[in-house]
């Protein structure tokens, strides 16, 4: 319910209640993201997973997000670089590397969601990740991982042995 738009909520609850629910969800997302900057994201996989679930698990369209890290794995920036359709968000390795250089990132964590709820990686996901890793490596930028956010869980390419 928290991620539904106001029109959908209005079918079940009063408009004021729908607005309140949206405000609660927005406040929770802001609180979760406020806790991330200035912390070592890589060493706190659980906190990262909780944050990713909160911000991406219930999105209706696929989105590609990049967490940019400094040399101490502190979060510099968390940006959605592209939104897509229900089953695809175009990703361009050159844009990811360009943005990493702009923010002086030493490493990145790639994240995208699957609105279907299934966090299984496709062969296209794996191929695109390898292209990003190759492009970033040439400029000294590490790719610490790639996570796919489903409705209930988050899959890590590293844990699955995909990268």
Q: What are the residues whose beta carbons fall under 8 Å from the beta carbon of 84, sequence distance 6 or more?
A: 61, 62, 63, 64, 90
High-pLDDT (> 70) share of the chain, %? 79
Tokens standing for 117?
Answer: 């709820």
Q: Beta-carbon neighbour count of residue 24 at 10 Å?
A: 12
**Which of 24-28, 48-52, 61-65, 94-98 has the weakest average pLDDT?**
24-28
Q: Alpha helix (H) ranges present in the chain?
A: 6-10, 15-35, 45-56, 93-102, 123-137, 157-160
User: From CA 70, how far away is CA 106, in angstroms rounded?
Assistant: 5
Whole-prediction pTM: 0.73
104-116 tens-digit pLDDT: 999 999 999 888 8
Q: Does position 96 have pLDDT exceeding 80, yes or no?
A: yes
- Model pLDDT, residue 104: 96
pLDDT band at 3 (very low <50, low <70, confident <90, very high): low
Sheet containing 142-149, strands listed edge to edge, beginning at the edge strand earlier in sequence: 75-83, 63-69, 107-113, 142-149, 154-156
Which carries the bigger pLDDT value, residue 135 or residue 1? 135
* 111 close to 150: Cβ distance less than 8 angstroms: no
3-state helix vs strand vs coil in the chain, percent to 5? 40, 20, 35
Q: What are the residues whose beta carbons fall under 8 Å from the beta carbon of 13, sequence distance 6 or more?
A: 21
13-51 tens-digit pLDDT: 877 877 777 777 777 666 655 555 555 555 577 888 888
Mean pLDDT of the chain: 81
State whether residue 37 is helix, strand or coil.
coil
């Amino acid at each position: 319910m928290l991620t539904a738009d106001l029109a959908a909520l209005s079918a079940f609850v009063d408009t004021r209640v729908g607005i309140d629910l949206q405000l609660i969800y927005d406040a929770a997302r802001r609180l979760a993201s406020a806790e991330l900057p200035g912390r070592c994201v890589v060493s706190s996989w659980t906190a990262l997973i909780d944050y990713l679930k909160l911000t991406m698990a219930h999105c209706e369209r696929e989105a590609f997000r990049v967490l940019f890290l400094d040399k101490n794995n502190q979060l510099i920036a968390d940006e959605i670089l592209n939104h897509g359709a229900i089953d695809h968000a175009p990703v361009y390795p050159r844009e990811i590397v360009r943005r990493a250089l702009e923010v002086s990132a030493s490493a990145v964590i790639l994240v995208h969601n699957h609105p279907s709820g299934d966090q299984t990686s496709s062969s296209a996901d794996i191929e695109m990740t390898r292209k990003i890793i190759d492009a970033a490596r040439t400029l000294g930028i590490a790719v610490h991982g790639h996570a796919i956010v489903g409705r209930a869980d988050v899959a890590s390419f590293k844990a699955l042995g995909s990268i």
